[in-house]
Structure 1
Amino acid sequence: MKHVKKVSKRARVITGTSLAAAIALGGFGAYSASAADSAQSAAPAVAAANVKGNTTTTTTHLTIDAASKAAQAALDAAEKEGQRVSVAVVDRNGNTILTLRGDGAGPQSYEAAEKKAFTAVSWNAPTSELVKRLENAPTLKDIPGTLFLGGGAPVTAKNAPIAGIGVAGAPSGDLDEKFAQAGVAALNG
């Protein structure tokens, strides 16, 4: 004979309620999934549009190899003269491509090199020339990300700026700029 355990009315109500809730939630989930599928199939597909006419431009950028060559040439020129510098190369948009911090370069030189490179490419002029412009437009120095000290040189292609090289850490901006120009020259050679 089997032994059947009697379950209290309370336990039967709780079990029944739980089962009903589970079935209801399952049905709700199925309904929600069905509604989501219907909404997705009803939504129109967004087609990629090809623009026509003169709505785009093409720009020239340095390759990473060219940027590396220029930065290393600038660093080598500084090391030949016993200077401890950092070198930065930025693209046409002022974004840093790479930065080299020479052995023994000061902690401030890293950021200063980037800012000098950014300044040179932004105005397509050596930063030593831009320092002179501050006499007539002193608020230029307030533009974020710029540094109006010698040491930045623009890189151009077809007379348009495509990059900037910045050097910082030598005792004078003239030396920094001389090393930056060595980087530019390496790209022309």
Structure 2
Amino acid sequence: MRWSLKILGCAALVASVSGVSANDVINVKRMTMELARDIATASVEACRADGYQVTAVVVDRSGDVQAVLRDVLAPRFTYQIARDKAAAVILSGVKSSVFRANREDIRMEMNHVDGILVLEGGVPIEAAGYLVGAVGVSGAPGGHLDEVCALKAIETVQERLDFAM
């Protein structure tokens, strides 16, 4: 018992001397590989059902690619476009269409930032109120249609996102 008190006392002394506080370490929510895969798959399937060949890219909260799915006839360029739409969501925290509408004043400049493309088709992925990533879709005949596919995909996993702890 005495040793326990001494150890706790030493730990408290070290913490106060070093300036360590509970706010120095944070917990971060991340999506699983399976969730990212399911969102990419649902995005491509939603567009395919409407007759569009697309690529879906899911990025994590840092903007790093976590899952990619390109339909058979989707042009290879759709990968980069989808990825850059998702990155715009990570930058702004909102759908890429909302970012585009809200920041029309800097849209052209933002499109010159390497890895960012301010076009419709990127949607945030939120779990229990936390941004855990984004999905970008490219290949439908219009970014608004890419966005519809991404939103349908999020809808297919919404219950899993809502109850993520």
Local SS of the residue matching 1:97: strand
1:132-163 Cα offsets, whole Å, 9 max, x none, are 13323343333321111110000112433110
Provide the rounded CA distance (Å) in 2 between the counterparts of 1:143 and 1:185: 30
Could you tell me which runs of 5 or more consecutive residues in structure 1 were left unpaired when the two chains were aligned: 1-50
Residue 87 in structure 1 maps to residue 46 in structure 2: no
Equivalence map 1:107-146=2 (5 Å): 107-138=76-107, 139-146=109-116
Local SS of the residue matching 1:112: helix
Q: Is the 8 A contact 2:61 2:131 kept in 1?
A: yes
Local SS of the residue matching 2:123: strand
Q: Look up the match of 2:153.
A: 183
Q: Is the 8 A contact 1:71 1:89 kept in 2?
A: yes
Provide the rounded CA distance (Å) in 1 between the counterparts of 2:132 and 2:110: 21
Could you tell me which runs of 5 or more consecutive residues in structure 2 were left unpaired when the two chains were aligned: 1-18, 160-165
1:81-140 Cα offsets, whole Å, 9 max, x none, are 110000000000000001101110012101111111111122111111111133233433
Q: Is the 8 A contact 1:74 1:183 kept in 2?
A: yes
Provide the rounded CA distance (Å) in 2 between the counterparts of 1:124 and 1:134: 13
Percent identical across equivalent pairs? 28
Local SS of the residue matching 2:44: helix
Higher RCO (C-alpha 8 Å, min separation 6): 2
Q: Is the 8 A contact 1:165 1:183 kept in 2?
A: no
Corresponding letter in the other structure for 1:73:
A
Provide the rounded CA distance (Å) in 1 between the counterparts of 2:42 and 2:50: 13
Q: 1:77 aligns with which of 46, 55, 60?
A: 46
Moved over 4 A (4+): none
TM-score (norm 2): 0.79
Q: 1:173 aligns with which of 140, 143, 151?
A: 143
Corresponding letter in the other structure for 1:109:
T
Q: Look up the match of 1:162.
A: 132
Q: Look up the match of 1:34.
A: none
Q: Is the 8 A contact 1:134 1:141 kept in 2?
A: no
